[in-house]
Amino acid sequence: MDYIKKTKAILCIIFIILFAFNGFAKSRVSVKNGDKEPDYLEIPREYLDKPILLINKITGYPNKLYHYGSSGMQVDYSVMLRFKLHNNSIKVIQEQYQNSISDTDIIKTSVNKNHFDPTICYIPIVSLTKKSVKIDVDFFKNNIELFSPVSRRVIKKYVLKPLEKEPVIINNYQLSKNSFLVSRTLNYIGEKSPRGHYSKYVSVEQLLTFRVLPENPIKPRKWDPRVGNFYLWNKKYSSESQFIKRERFLERWRLEPEDTAAYFRGELTRPKEPIVFYMDENVPHKWRKYIKQGVLDWLPVFESIGFKDAIEVHDKPKNAKWDDNDPNYNMIRWVSSEIKDAQGNYISDPRTGEILNGMLIWYQNYFLSVNSEYFVATAAVDTSARRPVLPDELFGKLMRETMAHEMGHSLGLGHNMIASSLYPTDSLRSNKFVAKYSIAPSIMDYANFNFIAQPEDMPLPLMRKIGPYDYWAIEHAYKYVRPSADNSGMEIGFTNREMNKKLQNRYLYYMEQEYPEVIDPTNMTGDLGDDPILSGEYALKNLKRIMPHIVEWSLPEDGDPTILLDRHDKLIAHLNTIFKGVIILIGGEKNRFDNSEFILKTTYPQRSEEAIDFLSKHLFTDMEWLYNKELERISDKASHKNSLCKVQSRAIRGLLNKNRLKRLIDYDLKNDEINTLTILRKLSDVVIKNSSVDNVPIAIQELYVKRMKELIQNTKSETILNHLLKEELDYVRKTVRVKAEREKNVLIKAFYDDLIE
């Protein structure tokens, strides 16, 4: 009898296991054949009526669908949803989380009614129990716009229409921790094809993730404009206040010490949950150690604020069942794409700024850019750069430096473009100084390489590294503060007094990046050193050393000119950066915070005249060095003339800029000076009066006159500026008339005669 009972019990257990396994398999595999019952996904009932973050990723990417995109790209990850039972469906509501109000405030109902949350859709329920809800997966075959990875703009651009048969296919679906995931493919046919896609048919593979947000959200930490951490914002309503406050708070990982008492005693303490990244299986093994080193270069920064082993990097386990795009796992991804870049991204809780997921990307084609950029910046002083392809060890160091920068982004740090202007230019030629301070106070600037260094200064560090500003930005965001019983306000890492004391160290300065027009000469991308004119002198010396050897050092044995031409393009781009840094001195304004007050400081007028003199000497009269006979033969594109026109035309558009000239006039009116007139006259003389067609091609002289005429038409309401431009144009006409009379070349004479009209 006992034997029979045991046998029945065993059979019962086996039946239960088989039944559970069948349900588990059904929840993960989508197969639709004949009259089979609808596939369903079983989700925990506890997911209902909870804040859910919609994370939308393109996992199968059609080449060039977007200007900037690849497999794994995130789409609109700031959408927050709430699932509510409604009859036999789940009602999906989009929550407008930007409006904050206390649950106990008397005006809560008014806030909610005046920011009414929209209903997005209804998901049919197959069955409902106390513990779970089964939903019909076929619902996700509907192309709901909020869930779509393809924007309206792209659909319109390529005139995309869903395929008539199976426009949406469900690939698979599964539960992951705190979330459920649906993978699907959207199929289109278009009238146009994305460049490089070679088909009018477009299919996009997508992973939709619905992630339940933390039940115990972290307390938001107040953002401060004097430190360049990324931030979110909301509008805070309160019946106790007459005004609606706009609150900004940092985006940051949740780092809490395992032993709080030890942490506050000043002991190094492990975090309860370190930041863990995994390398996907596509990352080539020979590069993994460099990528890992770049990420872990931030460990000492966190140790400086009391956290030990705050970051970990591992290879993805071979037996791992999770998808690389599952946002529950932080991934380092290798993307085989034409994009020349690297990226650091993250996904955060829109209510609090807590970073929930991070992703680091190395695009394979970035090697081409790095190979050229390092050559242009350093080949004059680093012999290892004087070859078509840099050595692997050097590539590894460059990769490490790049990934440290991108990891900074994944930690919530934005760019700090003024950092590269904070060290004295000549100090960057000192081994002792650069070894101690690096080439800039922050790795979050674009000051990648030391192009100031001269051959006689070597050996000298040439790459950037994590600096004092980066330590400060991490401290500002992550230094653990004692929890407060007051949950109504935001956490404050540093008082205003403490902030001002910190910022007495100018190496900790930050200003928001200016775009598209840069007004602050110290806030420019790609500059280096505190004196753009002196830095420009050093940079030009090095380029003049490189240009005679650019073919010798860049052309491989097989004669493929790809690397050579890319390096020449980067050299011209570097030239543009040098001259732009000088141009911005003219009518520039330095933006700074002084005791938490935002102030503007006009660039000194004598610097404007020095800038014009620099451009006269180096841009419009001394450009023969840019000619390389062998390059002309290989490129077959009149490289010298085209490059000269490209650099000079960009400079003229930057100089004859309406806003720049208005700032100069404002300064002159305030100080009773005539700098604007002086600058315009010097510019006209160097471009027109004293120029030769060898140094200033006729196309550039024509552009100068054309640009001045355009400005006259566009400044009719700017009386003083309009008058100055008309006077200057009259001067140019008189100058051109004299040149036409003296010119012996019939063709050039005809050009000048026409230019006067």
Residue 459 in this model has a pLDDT that exceeds 50: yes
Q: Which two tokens stand for residue 604?
A: 């000194």
192 vs 408 pLDDT, higher one: 408
SS (H, E, C) 476-508: HHHCCCCCCCCCCCCECCCCHHHHHHHCCCHHH
Residue range 233-260, pLDDT digits in tens: 999 888 888 888 889 999 999 999 999 9
Residue range 532-571, pLDDT digits in tens: 999 999 999 999 999 999 999 999 999 999 999 999 999 9
CB atoms closer than 10 angstroms to residue 632:
15
What is residue 97's predicted lDDT score, i.e. its pLDDT? 86
Least confident of 130-134, 238-242, 628-632: 238-242
Amino acid at 730: D
77 vs 735 pLDDT, higher one: 735
CB 432 within 8 A of CB 457: no
What is residue 25's predicted lDDT score, i.e. its pLDDT? 38
Distance in angstroms (rounded) separating the CA atoms of residues 186 and 124: 21
Domains of the chain by start residue, with CATH: 31-212 (no CATH), 260-508 (3.40.390.10), 532-756 (no CATH)
Residue 517 CA neighbour count, 13 Å, CB half: 11
List, edge to edge, every strand of the sheet that includes 355-363. Answer: 311-315, 275-279, 330-335, 355-363, 342-348
> Which residue(s) pair with 279 in the sheet?
315, 332
Least confident of 335-349, 473-487, 549-563: 473-487
DSSP assigned state of 623: -
For residue 430, CA distances in Å to 383, 453, 529, 704 come to 19, 9, 13, 41
What is residue 487's predicted lDDT score, i.e. its pLDDT? 64
Q: Which two tokens stand for residue 724?
A: 């100055």
Q: What is the mean pLDDT of residues 114-142?
A: 93
Instruction: Collapse the DSSP code of 549 into the 3-class scheme (helix H, G, I; strand E, B; otherwise coil) and give the result.
Output: helix
Residue range 344-403, pLDDT digits in tens: 999 999 999 999 999 999 999 999 999 999 999 999 999 999 999 999 999 999 999 999
CB 527 within 8 A of CB 445: no
Q: Which two tokens stand for residue 472?
A: 């400060």
Q: Which helix (H) or strand (E) holds 202?
A: strand 201-212
For residue 691, CA distances in Å to 614, 728, 736, 737 come to 15, 17, 11, 14
Mean pLDDT estimate for the chain: 90
Distance in angstroms (rounded) separating the CA atoms of residues 699 and 690: 16
Q: What is the mean pLDDT of residues 103-114?
A: 89
Residue 485 — very low, low, confident or very high, per pLDDT cuts 50/70/90? Answer: low
Residue 646 in this model has a pLDDT that exceeds 90: yes
Q: What is the mean pLDDT of residues 395-419?
A: 97
Place of tokens 């935001």: 490
> Which residue(s) pair with 63 in the sheet?
none
Q: What is the mean pLDDT of residues 48-55?
A: 96
621 vs 8 pLDDT, higher one: 621
What is residue 22's predicted lDDT score, i.e. its pLDDT? 44
What is residue 336's predicted lDDT score, i.e. its pLDDT? 92
Q: Which two tokens stand for residue 137?
A: 């997966």
CB atoms closer than 10 angstroms to residue 669:
11
What is residue 598's predicted lDDT score, i.e. its pLDDT? 67
Distance in angstroms (rounded) separating the CA atoms of residues 36 and 21: 18
Residue 719 in this model has a pLDDT that exceeds 50: yes
Angle at 310 between CA 308 and CA 314, to 5 degrees: 120
Q: Is the peptide bond before 459 cis (omega within 30 degrees of 0)?
A: yes
Strands 231-236 and 245-250: antiparallel
What is residue 23's predicted lDDT score, i.e. its pLDDT? 42
Least confident of 15-24, 71-80, 113-122, 575-584: 15-24
Residue 34 in this model has a pLDDT that exceeds 60: no
Q: Which two tokens stand for residue 484?
A: 């407060």
Angle at 181 between CA 177 and CA 182, to 5 degrees: 165
CB atoms closer than 10 angstroms to residue 716:
9
Write the DSSP assignment of 490-559 as a string of letters. -B-SS-HHHHHHHTTSGGG---PPP-SS---TTS-TT--SS-HHHHHHHHHHHHHHHGGGHHHHH--TT-
Find the farthest-apart pair of alpha carbons in the chain and give their distance in angstroms, rounded. Answer: 125
Q: What is the mean pLDDT of residues 678-698?
A: 92
Q: What is the mean pLDDT of residues 458-473?
A: 96
What is residue 596's predicted lDDT score, i.e. its pLDDT? 67
Q: Which two tokens stand for residue 753?
A: 């005669």
Residue 527 in this model has a pLDDT that exceeds 60: yes
Closest C-alpha among 218, 252, 259 to residue 483: 218
